[in-house]
Amino acid sequence: MLGTTEPAVTRIVCIGGGYCALFLVKALRRAVRRGDVELVIVSRTNFHAFHGFVGEMLSGRIQPQAILSPARRVFRPARFMNAEVTAIDLDEQQLTISRLLDGREQVLGYDHLVVSVGVADDVDGYPGLREHGLLLRDYRDAWHTRNHLLQMMEMAAIEPDPVERRRLLTVVVAGGGFGGVEVATELDEWASRLCRDEFADVDRDEVNVVLVHSGERILPELQGRHDRLVDRAERFIARRTRLDVRTGTRVIGATATDVRLDDGTSIPTRTVISSTGTASSPLLDQLQVERDDRGRVIVDDTVAVPGTTGLWAGGDCAAVPHPKGGTCPQLALFAMMHGWRIGRNILRVRAGRPPKPFGFTELGDACALGRRNAVAHLRGVPITGFAGWVLWKVFLLAFVPVWDRRLRLLLDWTLTPFTGREITQLPLDDAVGLDRERFEAGQVVFEQGEIGRKLYLIWEGRVEVVRDGQVLATLGPGQHFGETAVFEEVRRTASIRALTTVEVVTMGRSGARTLSETLESFGEAVRMRPTGLPSDPADIDLTPAPVVVEEQEA
């Protein structure tokens, strides 16, 4: 018709490649293929991680890559950009992205911006969590946790000291919600299988999995509406598992060798898995919008951000009003529905129609308890035992975004009972970067005579240097220790004991040597005797003890 023009193509940019983005693509797929809209997904990773089966990945029931789906397949036909968002300008409706190789930036304009950056683990939830806690929210953290668990089993199999052996074989899971219970019960079954089939040198009675929860009962997600399911879960765990469940208490600190609880007790362990607490993404600080007390972006009932133009937020990073009151829980299913409603509302706005309110309430919940048991409900109807476990499997499998990953999961579930759990641990190279560790007063950082693999720089607190029971010196912030063993390849010539709460920065042997050879001033500084030691070395014999290393078979 004369005088008419085709409407301009609407560009929609989504930050984040999680569940919200997944269903945003579904809602806009036809419009993208028609050429009505251009959809761009920006994510730091080129995969979508399906967290529902993280527990089974940790325990080797499924292959680690089975929970990953290629982003370019998942988000097709949207355009995918593997980059990091560094700046957001709401006034100009553009964002700055940088490539991960070298930070080279480019500007990307938009008509509608969907923020679905999720949340991060709150590593400041209690002292020592940042340094010693094992996390699960990020796939790389989950992969590291899986390797750590296998490493502890391998080390325990050859450890002669019963105290250290017990410490290696104790796993503490902090948090009794869905995630914590599923991980703890899966690891309880994992320990039984591995001790029976793979680790003949480890007795099952030596392995202790402890679930710590601050509430009086586990599974707070089900309390109030489905108390009978909570009862069923607690009875099953008490009768069918070896879990040590500690409710009404919380973790208040973690070190390299123990976990401390608010009831005054401590649990000797080298493994604490955190399933508690979340923190908002730093990217949200760039948005000059209203946020709730948990740091989530406040949106209206259409999932749009009030007072802005073309800005939407969904998933865990958004406080989306629930149709029955309050806000939506931080669950994958709700994030998916947020993405769907945002997509459909953008199309309505583009067509000049008012957006619809978010109307999804619930479909169901399920929590696996290990040993082919689960508690679940489907629209309020309770399902437990083996039937609940089947429902849990089918429910999650239906939401795996690509068919080939569903097929791989089915194959793993079919073959694992015959082939055994996957126990291959990828080699962990000597870290070149820096790490942080925490020790409480009285704890030993390392013992005299141990093989040294790390250099320590004191960040906060004080330690004492002890050799053969004699205190040689005290060291404080800015001073270092452990250099003799690292650079001269000898055993530790003295013990280091914390006098106060101590935080240290550590560097692996490879990194310390590389930096020493590259930066002369660093090498001279760390090879020097710490200033806290006696000035006259003749006063104290610091001759390094020779290293005795047994030959290994080729």
Q: How far is CA 486 from the centre of its chain?
A: 31
Q: What architecture is the 10-121+279-351 domain classified under in CATH? A: 3-Layer(bba) Sandwich (3.50)
Q: How far is CA 49 from the centre of its chain?
A: 12
Cβ-in-10-Å burial (0-12, 13-18, 19+) of 377 comes to buried
β 434-439/502-508 pair status: antiparallel
Digit-by-digit pLDDT tens for the chain (554 residues) are 333 344 589 999 999 999 999 999 999 999 999 999 999 999 999 999 999 999 999 999 999 999 999 999 999 999 999 999 999 999 999 999 998 887 889 999 999 999 999 998 888 888 898 889 999 999 999 999 999 999 999 999 999 999 999 999 999 999 999 999 999 999 999 999 999 999 999 999 999 999 999 999 999 989 988 999 999 999 999 999 999 999 999 999 999 899 999 999 999 999 999 988 788 999 999 898 999 999 999 999 999 999 999 999 999 999 999 999 999 999 999 999 999 999 999 999 999 999 999 999 988 889 999 999 999 999 889 999 999 999 999 989 999 999 999 999 999 999 999 999 999 987 655 445 678 889 999 999 998 888 888 889 999 999 999 998 899 999 999 898 988 877 777 788 899 999 999 999 988 877 777 777 766 666 566 555 554 454 433 333 334 444 444 434 43
Spatial distance between the Cα atoms of 252 and 389, rounded to a whole number of angstroms: 34
DSSP H or E run through 93: none
Which pLDDT belongs to residue 452?
82
Question: Helix (H) and strand (E) counts for the chain?
Answer: 14, 33
Q: Are the C-beta atoms of residues 123 and 254 closer than 8 Å to each other?
A: no
Q: How far is CA 385 from the centre of its chain?
A: 29
Spatial distance between the Cα atoms of 282 and 300, rounded to a whole number of angstroms: 22
Question: Span 133-276+365-416: which CATH code?
Answer: 3.50.50.100
Spatial distance between the Cα atoms of 61 and 502, rounded to a whole number of angstroms: 39
What the block records as the tokens of 235 is 């009875």
Q: Are the C-beta atoms of residues 462 and 474 closer than 8 Å to each other?
A: yes
Sole residue written with tokens 């101590």: 502
Which pLDDT belongs to residue 545?
42
Answer whether CATH 1.10.645.10 is correct for domain 434-527.
Answer: no
The residue extents of the domains of the chain are 10-121+279-351, 133-276+365-416, 434-527
Which pLDDT belongs to residue 523?
59
Sole residue written with tokens 């999804």: 360
Q: Are the C-beta atoms of residues 454 and 430 closer than 8 Å to each other?
A: no
- Segment 115-161, tens digit of pLDDT: 999 998 888 888 898 889 999 999 999 999 999 999 999 999 999 99
Burial 232-269 (b: 16+ CB within 10 A, else e): bbbebbeeebebebbeeebbbbbbbbbbbbeeeebbeb
Spatial distance between the Cα atoms of 501 and 476, rounded to a whole number of angstroms: 11
Q: What share of the chain is helix, strand, coil (3-state, %, to 5)?
A: 35, 25, 40
Same fold, 10-121+279-351 and 133-276+365-416: yes
Which pLDDT belongs to residue 527?
58
Q: Are the C-beta atoms of residues 210 and 254 closer than 8 Å to each other?
A: no
DSSP H or E run through 535: none
